[in-house]
Amino acid sequence: MERAPLRTVRRVLTGLILLLAQGGGAAEPHAAAGRAGQCLYLDGLLLSGKTGRATVQQGVALSGAAAACVQCHRRSGLGGSEGQNTIRPIAGRLLFSPAQAEAVGRRPEPAGGVAMRPGYTRATLARALREGIDPAGRALDALMPRYAVGDEEIAQLYAYLEGLSSASAPGVTDREIHFSTIVTPGVDPDKRRALLDVLQAYFRDKNGGTRKEVRRREVGSEQMYRAFRTWVLHVWELGGAPETWHAQLEAHYRQQPVFAVIGGLGHGSWQPVHGFCEAAQLPCVFPDVDYPVVEGAGYYSLYFSRGVTLEADVLARQLAETRSGMGGIAQVFRDDALGRLPAQALREAMQRREAGALADYPVSGGPVAAESWARLLHDARPATLVVWLDPSDVQGLAATGAPPAGLQAVYLSASLSAVPPASLPAEWLDRVRMVYPFALPANRARHLARMHAWLRARNVPFADARTQANAYFAATLTGDVMAHLGENFSRDYFIEGIEQMTEVSLSPSIYPRLSLGPGQRFASKGGYIVGFPGEAGGAPVPANGWLVP
């Protein structure tokens, strides 16, 4: 739980101090000092290695990471808002120049509005940090921390801020802005086509709608038109073994750097793609994957959810709340690195909740045949069976005949075992439950109506609902955020915009609710448990409300 004084500092810091991150603009002459300043800015660490110290209103003491500038000013230094409060831009080209609203894509302050302050110097920056006084002699907000920093730290911080967000990120030219989407081997061809149909239609829309703005940029003087660029989409198709993907991505990036990755499809592990994007400081916006990187998720990769590990946590909550004294639990999973992920996540979540033990039954090879299922059920005799397997494996389970008398519930993963309920015998449907992190089918037509209207208007055929809805969300959210960047083509600023606008986007995804906060990287936080009662014709019906583990 975050301490109240720090929450308050974050909420109402309207003053001006520093910002953070991503070296992506630090000028080389100041590189060494800039790196030292970055430690102070991001981590609150002094050159000596000691933690920095500051005080806020009423003498509340902050130190180390809690006192780091990034806590309020984020990584880009290009300004933002939180609630009713405004955090003014402090990237060097803005901080060290007279404050003018139009410099960051906003209109000038009206006559009689906020007075323009002089540009900061090293001396006035020191006074602001130590005493809370701006270059015009005005007191900064009382919640702006006052820092105990020496001249050496001031010089380091000054050098860091000078280069912060000082140049456009790779992938941006005077005329174009380049994006990519990534498709890994093994992706279903129909899903690949559905992804590209949506993204290509969106890019055609975007470029067709900005032709007039490009002309205005050429003949006019208004700053708002100078930000427009033609959008270019690059499809990065990967092949071969996962250990070769990083080199393939590097080759694509060398050939044409991109500003960000929009969407994408992964079959199996996404780790090599994630690692590349983090190393390149390349935003990857909502790829459609079941195995996102959860441990040490990083900064530049933003996901719809934690995938199968989220499903495991949702299921653990369901089992802990509904299974008191109901017999043993067996979980069946593929005995490989990916197959063990949800099984391990469920085991750990059950242990945290003290919800009983699990018996593991890993399987190898091809689809699990009916005879193998029959032996497993005979040996395990579970009251609850959890299946982390593919549709073909589930069909083998149903082919064993009537369920054993003691088997009360079978839990499937909606991501992995997307079995059409009508294909299962009625005696199995009565026992089947599914962990379902998506919008319920009963509400899907209404939920996706906006996207369907958009697809019809562009003659894009309806295809895989999940793929199309998620690609549409990733593309439109990217467009909304880009429209607010002005000419500040900073990847950090872009990420900050994604964090802020995900929750308020009008575009639907396959998930019923999405939100991000600063530093959060998984937008959907829960799921349903659904059953398949016969009277509903096999349509999934929620057994309870939305569960957040």
Sign of CA dihedral 127, 128, 129, 130: positive
Phi, psi for 128 (deg, rounded to 5) = -65, -40
pLDDT of residue 85: 64
Residue type, 209: G
For strand 85-87 and strand 260-262, is the pairing parallel, antiparallel, or unpaired? Answer: unpaired
Q: Which residues pair with 275 in a beta bridge?
A: none
Q: How far apart are CA 140 and CA 308, in angstroms?
A: 47
At 476-489, the pLDDT tens digits run: 999 999 998 888 89
CA-CA distances (angstroms) from residue 77 to 41, 164, 488? 11, 7, 11
pLDDT of residue 81: 66
- Name 324's Cβ contacts closer than 8 Å, sequence gap at least 6: none
User: By C-alpha distance, which of 196, 333, 200, 185 is closest to 273?
Assistant: 185
Side chain identity, residue 457: A
Token pair for 180: 């990519």
Which amino acid is residue 129, in one-letter code?
Answer: L
H helix runs in 336-448, sequence order? 337-352, 370-380, 391-398, 426-429, 441-447
Show the low-confidence residues of the chain (pLDDT under 70). Answer: 1-34, 77, 79-85, 99-115, 210-226, 324-325, 419-422, 534-538
Q: How far is CA 197 from CA 89, 204, 275, 449, in A?
A: 38, 11, 27, 18
Model pLDDT for residues 103-146, shown as the tens digit of each residue = 333 344 444 445 678 888 889 888 988 988 888 888 887 778 88
* DSSP assignment of 122-160: HHHHHHHHHH-B-TTSPBPPTTSPEE---HHHHHHHHHH
Residue 41's closest CA among 29, 28, 54? 54
pLDDT recorded at residue 13: 33
Residue among 17, 91, 95, 11 nearest 54 (CA): 17
* Contact between residue 178 and residue 254 where contact means Cβ atoms under 8 Å apart: no
Q: Which residue has the tokens 């006074």?
A: 127
Question: Could you give the CA distance from residue 58 to residue 61 in angstroms, rounded to a whole number?
Answer: 9
Cβ–Cβ under 8 Å, residues 5 and 66: no
> Among candidates 472, 465, 478, which has minimal Cα distance to 508?
472
pLDDT at residue 212, as a whole number: 57
Beta pairing, strands 146-147 & 53-56: antiparallel
Q: How far is CA 519 from CA 14, 404, 492, 498, 501, in A?
A: 20, 47, 12, 11, 14
Read off the pTM: 0.84
53-56 sheet: strands from edge to edge: 60-63, 53-56, 146-147
Of 261, 264, 301, 278, residue with least CA distance to 523: 301
User: How would you list the strands of the sheet with 329-334, edge to edge?
Assistant: 358-363, 329-334, 384-388, 409-413, 432-436, 528-531, 541-542
Residue 167: HSE in the Cβ half-sphere, 13 Å Cα cutoff: 11
Nearest to 404 by CA among 344, 328, 490: 328
pLDDT value at residue 422? 64
- For residues 438 and 512, the answer to whether their CB atoms sit within 8 Å is yes
Give the residue from 32, 48, 3, 39 showing the smallest Cα distance to 18: 39
Q: What are the CA-CA distances from residue 538 to residues 315, 390, 426 (Å)?
A: 21, 19, 9
